[in-house]
Structures are given as C-alpha cells and as structure tokens.
Amino acid sequence: MMYKKSLVTVLYHVLAILLGVIAIVPFLWMISTSLKSSGALLVIPIEWIPKEPTLSAYKKLFALTGIVRSIGNSLVVSFGAVSVALLCSSMAAFAFSKIHFKGSGFLFMIFIASMMLPSHVIFIPLYLIMNDLHLVDTLFALILPYSFKAFAVFMLRQQMMGIPDAYLDAAAIDGASLFRSFFTIFLPLCKTALATLAIIIAMDAWNDYLMPLVLMTSTKNYTLPIILNALSGQFKTSYDLLMAGSLISVIPLLIIYITAQRYFASGFQVGGVKG
C-alpha cells in the first residue's frame, strides 16, 4: 500500500514537472528571440542561447511611434477596469446575497445567464450604445463594460453567502448603514476573492484585442495588443520586435500575479461555496 502511494506521488511530481517545462519553453523561446539579431532568427538548429545577444529589438520597438503611449493606454484601461469591476460587482453581489427583495433570485439567474452569450455577439450593440453616449474612441469606452461582469458578481455572491447575517444584524444594531456595513465588514472579508478577480480582470483588460479594435478609431488611443499586431505583416513579420513587445506585455501581468498569487487559489476555493 505504501509502495503504491509513493509511486503515485512520484508520478504526480514527474507529470507536474513535465507540464511545467512544456509551459515555460515558449516563454524561454520568446526571451531568446527578442535578444537575437535579425540574421540569427532563422538559424537551424535553433540557438536557445544567442551567441551575440543584443538589445536592438527593444531599441527599435521603443522607437516606433505610439508604442509608449499604447503601453500607457493599456495600463489606464487595466487599472480602470479592475477598479470599476470590483466596485460594481461587489455591490451587486452584496445586494443579491444580503438584501432580500422580491424577484432577486430570478433577476440573479437572468444576470448569470448572460455568461452564456459569446462576447462577439455584443460588439455591435455595444458600439451603438457607446456611439450614442459619445464615448467611441475614448478609453472610458473600454472601461465601462467591466461594470457588468457576471462572473465577478457570481463569485463574490458565493463568498458573501458564506458570511453569516449576524454581522449585518450586529452592525445595524450599532447604527451602521448598509453602505458602511458593506465597506467596513463585507469587503475586508472578501479580500481573497477580490484579489483573484483583480488578477483575472487585469489580464482580460490588458490582453483584450477585439474590443479596442472595434471601439478605437484613432491611433492615439490604441492599446498595446493592437500595436503589437501591426508588427505582424502580410508579407513580413519582425519576429525580434514581436517577441520583444510580447515580453514587455507579459511583465506587468507577471508582477500582478506574483504580488497576489497567495490569494489566487484560495479565492477560487471560497468562490465555490454553495449558496
């Protein structure tokens, strides 16, 4: 019995290491390619460690018009999307879990059903709405849709359902309003789920390509994914520039994940509490 258990443990770790290596190989190739000169890109066999590493790709990349501005635009959109999504979703989750009103269950099911709609379906209606609001070709047009993230509402509601109503009753006895109870009691108790959602939403907003392509019409408001896509042409692709730009686009996400990784797994666990 002990032998079988040890064998399963060894196989588990071997498989985990193998999957980790497979996952990190493209990342290493991206770093290697970004440090190569143009002539060394297509050398066979592949040079995993460049013989003459150079930063010329990064210099050319930052010399391109609009690259620095696009990074700034992506940062603004990502930070704005996280802030708006966490605030609106947490307030909606609090209402669905702790404020009992007629039809709340049906309304919540309708709201969650929107998760089944493909994102591409809403592009035209969203464009028409943003056009009526005179928000087309503004960064706020990319931030506003994150006010209605059904997955975030569902996840936060599930965690808030696990918080006893006694906290709310005790706060009411002390004279605290619903808003004060929400901000001082429930939000701190949901910090793991909030951190998890912050990572997911930041990744979604930072990597989004189709939404900026639909809503942005001027190059000054382009985000980083659109600029990077321009490096891949029909007849020629600058792989060194593309990999350098891809590496730069990954760095902020790595920083966010490393900073909040201790909340990531626990956030998914508490999000699965039965309501």
Task: Give residue 35's identity as a one-letter amino acid code.
Answer: L
Q: Which tokens is 36 given? A: 């190569």
User: What number of other Cβ atoms are within 10 A of residue 56's Cβ?
Assistant: 16
Domain hosting residue 31, numbered range: 1-54
Task: Please give the pLDDT value at position 42.
Answer: 62
Cα(156)–Cα(149) distance, rounded to whole angstroms? 11
pTM for the model stands at 0.81
Q: Are residues 136 and 106 in the same domain?
A: yes
The SS3 call for residue 139 is coil
| Phi, psi values for residue 148, rounded to 5° | -125, 70
Q: Are residues 176 and 97 in the same domain?
A: yes
User: What residues of the chain score a pLDDT lower than 50?
Assistant: 234-235, 270-275
Task: Please give the pLDDT value at position 120.
Answer: 80
Instruction: Quote the strand ranges of 82-182, DSSP E.
Output: none
Q: Are residues 76 and 39 in the same domain?
A: no
Contacts of residue 56, Cβ cutoff 8 Å, sequence gap at least 6: 37, 240
Cα(162)–Cα(165) distance, rounded to whole angstroms? 9
Q: How many domains does the chain have?
A: 2
Q: Are residues 91 and 46 in the same domain?
A: no
Q: Are residues 69 and 36 in the same domain?
A: no
Task: Give residue 49's identity as a one-letter amino acid code.
Answer: I
Cα(237)–Cα(129) distance, rounded to whole angstroms? 36
Q: Are residues 64 and 143 in the same domain?
A: yes
Task: Give residue 260's identity as a one-letter amino acid code.
Answer: A
Burial 211-250 (b: 16+ CB within 10 A, else e): bbebbbeeeebbbbbbbbeebeeeeeebbbbbbbbbbbbe
Q: Are residues 38 and 138 in the same domain?
A: no
The SS3 call for residue 169 is helix
CB of 263 closer than 8 Å to CB of 191 = yes
Task: Please give the pLDDT value at position 43.
Answer: 64
Q: Are residues 28 and 135 in the same domain?
A: no
**Taking the chain, what is the end-to-end CA distance rounded to the nearest angstrom?**
39
Q: Which among 231, 223, 220, 230 has a CA at the least distance from the CA of 249? A: 223
Q: Are residues 124 and 242 in the same domain?
A: yes
Task: Please give the pLDDT value at position 101.
Answer: 82
Cα(161)–Cα(98) distance, rounded to whole angstroms? 8
Q: Are residues 6 and 89 in the same domain?
A: no
206 CB-contact burial (10 Å; exposed 0-12 / middle 13-18 / buried 19+): buried
CB of 173 closer than 8 Å to CB of 107 = no
Q: Are residues 91 and 142 in the same domain?
A: yes
* Residue at a domain's end among 12, 39, 54: 54
